[in-house]
A and B are shown apart, each in its own frame.
Chain A
Amino acid sequence: MDLSALAPPTAPPAHTEAPGSPHTSRLNSLDLTRHVPIPVARKAVTDPRQRSEKADRFHTSRARYGPPTILTAQRPVVTLTRVQSGVGALTIQAACSDLVGDLRVGCAYQIASGLSSLIHTAGGLRAAPAGSERPVISATSGRFEGLSIDLSQCQDIERLIVYVHSASGATLSWDGSLVVQTYGGAHIEVPMRRDPAAGVMVPLSLFNVEGEFVLRAEQFFTGGSIRDATASFGFERISWLDDHTPLA
């Protein structure tokens, strides 16, 4: 009997822990059947036929050009095709009114070299990797603050989480949506509405699963720091000056 057919779809777990973190240690019991694999980007695909069969086994939610795909608690995941994950640029913007407050956008990322760090506009970190002449991820400004991912380097991205917060630590009247747009014009939206509070929200995570970007609405909020929020998703290898300021 092929028990692999009963395995869950290749969507990432909501909160992935870094190896060696306390949570991971709890998962490392002797019962290996309960182990949830962490998606690994750039995984060597030796037999494309095998990959195709695996993909056909599950229904994968896709985003198409046209009406926006809205990610909710009931439908939190969408998987971009390899074309959507590899052609042009992927833009992410926090679309909200001034009534929300001084909302800023950042992300914690992990790239194929193993480097983990932040795009942190409030602290002047606007490119990933920092100081790169050819950034994989860049902060963008305009009507709404956001991020742009250079998809010609899509293989270099392992995962990232987008966080939004108040640079001054003020209470925000949470509203609006995080809007992801593919090069071909497909829209994915993650609502950011919740009761007013001070803290850090992580509306979205992105995992590179064998060349396809899996986007997940995380519904995560902490009254703590950016360091707390990123640590909750396993970004333990980032150096910090303080709870809100990464070293680089």
Chain B
Amino acid sequence: MAVSLSKGGNVSLTKEAGAEGLRSVSVALGWGLRTTSGDDFDLDASALMVGDNGRVLSDTHFVFYGNLDSPEGSVHHTGDNIVGGGDDDEVIEVDLTHVPAAVARIVFPVSIHEGDRRSQTFGQVSDAYIRVVNGKISNGRVLARYDLSENASSETAMVFGELYRRQDEWKFRAVGQGYASGLAGIARDYGVNIG
């Protein structure tokens, strides 16, 4: 049974996988809309592969809709509007066996496209969650899940969770940290050259 996390909580994915083994995971993210102003509402998930210093290894280690694969191919964004993934809105696959050793964490933000210009925030988003599935999203077992409950009325982006290494284990932490500066702000904070 999947571990349900609250904000700040963590779980060892390696231990949860147990005898199944843990080679790859699918990180699925979902959300609903509470209210809209009539404007198109566009949310995007992404992944930042960061080192011990908290910065991405390179700009190409920022995986998003415009850069679907990390350079070595260990992180793959499957794109918008996944079919067959249940209610998930976006899925990012991580081949844990090929994640570069220099990567200490993989951070998963969700951002509202041009949220500031359209006056859209996570206060208008409901039922947001992130779940980690062992293997493929279509047939893997859910190892962990975090349902976000924050009222982020001024945030246009939010880090839902992160995968991180702890000695020989892979762990997952529920983060729920909001940003008022959108995807660009999160990316910049993690050392991506937005210029």
Contacts and interface: CB of A to CB of B under 8 A. Distances in A.
B72 A83 contact: no
Contact of A152 (B44, B70, B193): B44
Contacts, number: 79
Contact of B195 (A82, A86, A184): A184
B65 A83 contact: no
A60 interface: no
B195 A154 contact: no
Classify the interface of chain A: helix, strand, loop or mixed: loop
Interface size class, chain B: 20 to 34
B60 interface: yes
A144 interface: no
B72 A48 contact: yes
Contacts of B40: 133-134
Contacts of B113: 152
A48 B66 contact: no
Interface in A52-75: 52, 63-66
A182 interface: yes
B184 interface: yes
Interface string A193-216: 000000000000000000100000
Contact of B66 (A64, A65, A86, A184): A86
A65 B195 contact: yes
B69 to A, nearest CB: 4
Given A64-B195, A84-B195, A186-B195, A155 B69 contact: no
A49 B73 contact: yes
A88 B114 contact: yes
6 contacts: A65-B194, A83-B187, A87-B183, A87-B187, A183-B184, A184-B184
Interface of B: 40, 42, 44, 59-60, 62, 64-73, 113-114, 182-184, 187-188, 192-195
Given A48-B70, A86-B67, 16 more contacts: A45-B69, A47-B73, A48-B71, A49-B72, A51-B71, A81-B59, A82-B66, A83-B59, A83-B67, A83-B194, A86-B66, A152-B44, A152-B65, A152-B114, A154-B65, A184-B184
